[in-house]
């Protein structure tokens, strides 16, 4: 059985509107989102670093590689690890944590 990282926000019976909006289900989904953000911020920081040292010829390709790597991973994860049938509302009862016993 495939472990899904994301669920659709709302179920939609129309195939052309089926992929609109995803919600992370577990830490792996949140890590995929964070890695995309980290790749963009890291690439931008390196671009700024090399830009301030007048080495734009190095900074531009580094930013492009970081942006493509982060976006590629996120797009792969959102396509391959999204539940095609159930929405986030179907997972909510499963995600409820049991109440802590009284002390």
> Does any domain span residue 101?
no
> Does any domain span residue 100?
no
> Does any domain span residue 103?
no
Terminal C-alpha separation, the chain: 38
> Does any domain span residue 98?
no
CA 37, CA 43: separation in Å to the nearest integer?
10
pLDDT-based confidence at residue 8 (cuts at 50, 70, 90): confident
> Does any domain span residue 49?
yes
> Does any domain span residue 58?
yes
Burial class (CB in 10 A: 0-12, 13-18, 19+), 15: exposed
The string of pLDDT tens digits covering residues 17-43 is: 655 678 888 888 899 999 999 999 999
- In the chain, the number of structural domains is 1
Torsions phi, psi for 79 (to 5 deg): -90, -45
Burial class (CB in 10 A: 0-12, 13-18, 19+), 95: exposed
> Does any domain span residue 102?
no
Instruction: Give residue 16's domain range.
Output: 6-93
**Mean pLDDT (whole number) for 52-68:** 92
> Does any domain span residue 23?
yes
The string of pLDDT tens digits covering residues 63-99 is: 999 999 999 999 998 888 888 777 777 777 666 666 6
């Amino acid at each position: 059985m495939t472990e899904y990282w994301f669920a659709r926000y709302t179920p939609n019976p129309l195939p052309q509107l089926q992929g609109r909006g995803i919600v992370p289900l577990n830490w792996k989904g949140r890590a995929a989102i964070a890695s995309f953000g980290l790749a963009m911020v890291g690439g931008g920081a390196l671009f700024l670093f090399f830009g301030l040292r007048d080495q734009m010829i190095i900074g531009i390709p580094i930013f492009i590689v970081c942006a493509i790597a982060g976006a590629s991973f996120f797009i792969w994860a959102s396509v391959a690890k999204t539940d095609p049938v159930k929405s986030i509302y179907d997972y909510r009862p499963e995600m409820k944590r049991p109440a802590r016993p009284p002390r």
